[in-house]
Amino acid sequence: MAILVFYKVSGGPFGCEGVVKTAGPFYAILGFAGFPLVWCLQEALVTAELGLAYLEPSGAIAWIEEAFGPCAGLFCGYLDWVSGATDNAIYPSLFLEYLLSYIGRGGETFLQHPLWCFCFSGVIFAALALINYMGLEVVGNLSIVVCVISMSPFLLLCIFGLPKVDPARWLVFPTGDIALSTKGDDEIVNSLGVDSFLPVITIGSVLWRPFVNSLFWNMNSFDVGASFAGEVQDPERVFPKAMFLSVSFVVFSYLLPVLIALGASDLVQSNWNAGYFTTVAEKVVGPWLAVWTVFAAAVSDIALFEAKMSGDAYQLMGMADCGLIPKKFCKRSRFGTPTNGILVGTFVIFCLGVVDFELLVEMLNFAYSVSLLMEFAAFVNL
């Protein structure tokens, strides 16, 4: 249960490079250490309390419907599901970033062509949806195996990189190069996800909107645990422990690798694009760990995709049970999985697979933050 929630939230430090790029080493470390205290812990505690009170697959939707009525429940369910489907469309793209960061250093490759990227993502979507169809127990057991594999390169990075750590590198503040370049360099502006009508806010040379966006994306979604609470044996004993463990897993899976990576290497802040951990692994340990990191990224994306698709499909089934959406979504396969929820989710994810990575992050963060505000309001009301 804890691993399922961990993979709904995080799955390891893959994709957290944007936090370092937009804020520098000191603020990145401060963000990964402080954000769980002011956000993750509260979200997990609310989920642990209300998840036990409403053992339904609709999860938080049941709380909101109880507090504010069916219209509010439907609206929150829609936003939550959209954010989940959008999030799932990210992971094949994220794996491609890691793959290209290693094999694309010598020049252009065929995988960088949009058509090949789309086909590659589509094949992954279909294969992973089939695994999801085979049942929650299969997904949970797969996630445990994947957790060991996907976290192993970062464990090795910590072991081999620890003797090379210079704590003075943790105290490096942002240089201002990134902030200044956003005023004239369209490529960097696009890569940071700040190419919109909203102003680029830089205080202390930190690009605050993409910095907070990246932190929020990497460390949210603990409320998915509520969708699985009814499927757990002895939930009163297991569920609160699982939520506490999942928060601990998330914090250490980010903080320790980032501390070692920043402390053991003299690497330029502006180079911390998605997939940069492969470069860090190569420079700190060796080329063999860079290859293993790319493989682990692929394996981690499998578990992230499976955990998120399971949560979204069970949520749709729960909403159908409550009468908020058509009863067709109540249909289960012979494995007990929500068939139509998986099919609809796969179709939407497939369509979103062509959208830019940073735009997907901002889209899902907006939808998810609104639904979370409603969940917290329901908690207070109840």
pLDDT of residue 230: 77
Contact (CB, 8 A) for 195 and 181: no
Mean pLDDT to the nearest integer, 272-299: 85
Question: Using CA atoms, how far apart are residues 340 and 350, in angstroms rounded to an integer?
Answer: 15
pLDDT at 74 over 60: yes
pLDDT of residue 104: 58
pLDDT of residue 271: 83
Mean pLDDT to the nearest integer, 335-358: 74
pLDDT of residue 14: 81
pLDDT band at 192 (very low <50, low <70, confident <90, very high): very low
Q: Which residue has the higher pLDDT, 367 or 191?
A: 367
- Which range (61-75, 135-149, 216-230, 278-292) has the least confidence? 135-149
Q: Which two tokens stand for residue 260?
A: 């070692």
pLDDT of residue 188: 40
C-alpha angle with apex 169: 166 to 175, nearest 5 degrees? 165
pLDDT of residue 375: 92
- Which range (17-21, 71-75, 100-104, 225-229) has the least confidence? 100-104
- Which range (46-60, 179-193, 311-325) has the least confidence? 179-193
Q: How far is CA 219 from CA 27, 56, 149, 351, in A?
A: 16, 24, 21, 25
Task: Give the range of the structural domain holding residue 127, as residue numbers without chain letter.
Answer: 2-381
pLDDT of residue 179: 47
pLDDT band at 114 (very low <50, low <70, confident <90, very high): low
pLDDT of residue 34: 93
pLDDT of residue 41: 92
**CATH number of the domain to which 118 belongs:** 1.20.1740.10
pLDDT of residue 143: 67
Contact (CB, 8 A) for 64 and 378: yes
Give the highest mean pLDDT range of 202-206, 267-271, 286-290, 315-319. Answer: 286-290
What is the SS3 assignment for 203?
A: strand
Mean residue pLDDT of the chain comes to 79
Number of domains in the chain: 1
Q: Which two tokens stand for residue 349?
A: 């994810």
DSSP assignment of 1-18 equals: -HHHHHHHHTSSSTTTHH
Q: Please give the helix or strand (H or E) that residue 206 lies within, else none.
A: strand 206-207
Question: Using CA atoms, how far apart are residues 279 and 153, in angstroms rounded to an integer?
Answer: 13
pLDDT digits (tens, 9 = 90+) for 247-257: 999 999 999 99
pLDDT at 170 over 90: yes
Mean pLDDT to the nearest integer, 114-141: 63
Question: Using CA atoms, how far apart are residues 313 and 347, in angstroms rounded to an integer?
Answer: 12
Mean pLDDT to the nearest integer, 365-378: 90
Q: Please give the helix or strand (H or E) that residue 202 lies within, else none.
A: strand 202-203
Question: Using CA atoms, how far apart are residues 139 and 161, in angstroms rounded to an integer?
Answer: 33
Phi-psi sector, 353: left (phi>0), alpha (psi -120 to 50), beta: alpha
Question: Using CA atoms, how far apart are residues 173 and 87, in angstroms rounded to an integer?
Answer: 31
Q: The whole model's pTM is what?
A: 0.75
CB count within 10 Å of CB 330 equals 18
Mean pLDDT to the nearest integer, 34-54: 91
Burial of 42 (0-12, 13-18, 19+ CB in 10 A): middle
C-alpha angle with apex 19: 312 to 114, nearest 5 degrees? 60
pLDDT at 276 over 80: yes
Q: Which two tokens stand for residue 321?
A: 């049970």
Q: Which two tokens stand for residue 225?
A: 């645990």
Enumerate helices (H) and strands (E) in the chain, giving the number of each. 17, 2
pLDDT of residue 76: 87
Contact (CB, 8 A) for 309 and 128: yes
pLDDT at 377 over 90: yes
- Give, as one character, the DSSP assignment of residue 207: E
Question: Using CA atoms, how far apart are residues 341 and 332, in angstroms rounded to an integer?
Answer: 9
Contact (CB, 8 A) for 157 and 289: yes
pLDDT at 184 over 90: no
Phi-psi sector, 234: left (phi>0), alpha (psi -120 to 50), beta: left
Give the highest mean pLDDT range of 241-255, 318-332, 346-360. Answer: 241-255
